[in-house]
Amino acid sequence: MQGSNTKGNLTTAVLIGGLLINHAEAISQTVDKLEFDGTVGIEYGYDSNVVVEEIDVTSSSSDSFLRLRGKGSATFRFDERHSASASLSISDKSYKDDEAFDLQTRLFSSGYKYKNKGYTLGVDYRHASADLGGNDFLTLTQISPSLSFFLSKQNFFRLAYTSIEKELDNNPTRNSDGDNFGIDYYFFRNGLNNYFISSVKYRQEEAQDDIFSFDSYQLRFAYKKRFEVLGYKSRLTLDVKYRQRDFEEAINPTINDFRADKRRTFGVNNEVELSDEITWLIDITHINNGSNLTGLDYQETIVSTGIEYQF
C-alpha cells in the first residue's frame, strides 16, 4: 500500500514538473517574440518667430528653447505575418523667455500589421494630448488603416486613410473632425543608403464654426542618404513641403473674404552616430507661411542640435 502511494506521488510530481517545464517554455517563446526599445534625448534650439499654428498665434519675436524627449515602444510578433506594436512618447519644450508658448506633449500609439508576400495591411491608432503654457491645450485622436507594397525592389507605395478628431480645450469652436487621404512613393536608389520620397495628401476638416473648416492638399519631396564622415555613420535628410489650405465654408470677417493659406517648408536634418547608442542630431527648418489673413503672413526659421540615447 505504501509502495502504491509512493508511486502515485512520483507520477504526480512528474506531471507537475512537466507542466512547469511546458509553461516555462511557453513564457520563453513569448519573450522571444517580444521586442522592446526606447530613446531619450535633449535638444537645444533657436526659433526666429515663435508660433502656435493650431490656433493661428504668432509671437513676432525670437527665442531659444530646450526640449527633453523620451520614447518607449514594444512589438509583439505572433508569427512571420502578424505583429502588434505600442509606443508612448513624451516631449517637453521650454522657451527661455516666452513661457506662454511652453509646450508639453504626450503621444500614445498602437498598431497591427499583416504581412503577405506582396503587400502589407496595417491599422494604427494614435492619441495625443498637449499643454500650452502650463494649461490644457489640445487633444488629437487618429485612426489610420493603410496598404503598402513593392512594385519592384526599387519602387514602394503606401496608401493610407486617416480619420481625425481634434479638440481644443480653450477654443471649442475650433473642435473638428477630419479625413486625410495620402499616397507615399519611395524610390530606393541603393536600398536604405540612398532613396527618394514623394507624397501627396488631401485633407478635409469640418470645424464646429465653419470659419475654421478647410480643404487642403500637401506635396512633399524628400531625399535620404547614408554616408560616413571621419569614420562616423551619418544619415542626411533633405525635405521640401508645399501645403495649401482653402477656408471656403464661411467668409472671414477680418478680411471680408474666404481665407487662403500657402505654406512652404524647407528642412535639412543630419544624424551622426557617435556610438551604437548615442546619436548627434542637427536640424534646420525654414517656414514661409503666406496667408490673406492679417498676421499670418510670416517666416520662421528653427535651428536645433541635440543628443539622443537609444537603449
- Residue 19: pLDDT above 60? no
Question: Within a domain: residue 10?
Answer: no
Residue 11 C-alpha from the chain's centroid = 56
Element (H, E) at 6: helix 2-33
Phi-psi domain of 176 (left: phi exceeds 0; alpha: psi -120 through 50; beta: other): beta
Confidence of residue 26 (pLDDT cuts 50, 70, 90): very low
Cβ proximity of 126 and 144 under 8 Å: yes
Interval 104-150: pLDDT, tens: 999 999 999 999 989 999 999 999 999 999 999 999 999 999 999 99
- Residue 297: pLDDT above 80? yes
Residue 24's pLDDT is 43
Residue 12's pLDDT is 53
Mean pLDDT of 202-212: 97
Is the four-CA dihedral 291, 209, 134, 93 of positive or negative sign? negative
- Residue 103: pLDDT above 60? yes
Residue 295's pLDDT is 87
Question: Within a domain: residue 27?
Answer: no
Q: Provide the residue range defining the domain that includes 87.
A: 34-310
Compute the distance between CA of residue 299 and CA of residue 288 in angstroms, rounded to an integer.
5
Task: Tell me the three cell numbers of residue 63.
Answer: 527665442
Confidence of residue 28 (pLDDT cuts 50, 70, 90): very low
Report phi then psi at 24, rounded to 5.
-65, -40
Distances, alpha carbon 206 to alpha carbons 56, 98, 128, 129, 138, in Å: 17, 31, 19, 20, 16
* Residue at 267: amino acid letter: G
Percent of the chain at pLDDT exceeding 90: 86
Cβ proximity of 68 and 42 under 8 Å: yes
Residue 4's pLDDT is 54
Question: Within a domain: residue 24?
Answer: no
SS3 category, 208: coil
SS3 category, 175: coil
Confidence of residue 294 (pLDDT cuts 50, 70, 90): confident
Compute the distance between CA of residue 195 and CA of residue 219 in angstroms, rounded to an integer.
17
Interval 59-90: pLDDT, tens: 989 999 999 999 999 999 999 999 999 999 99
Question: Within a domain: residue 25?
Answer: no
Confidence of residue 33 (pLDDT cuts 50, 70, 90): confident
Compute the distance between CA of residue 210 and CA of residue 163 in angstroms, rounded to an integer.
19
Quote the pTM value: 0.86
Compute the distance between CA of residue 300 and CA of residue 285 in angstroms, rounded to an integer.
8
Cβ proximity of 139 and 107 under 8 Å: no
SS3 category, 20: helix
Compute the distance between CA of residue 109 and CA of residue 144 in angstroms, rounded to an integer.
11
Closest CA to 183 of 141, 225, 149: 149
Average pLDDT in the chain:
92
Question: Within a domain: residue 69?
Answer: yes
Number of domains in the chain: 1
Question: Within a domain: residue 4?
Answer: no
Closest CA to 83 of 37, 55, 29, 121: 121
**In this structure, what CATH number is given to the domain that contains residue 281?**
2.40.160.10
Question: Within a domain: residue 190?
Answer: yes
Confidence of residue 95 (pLDDT cuts 50, 70, 90): very high
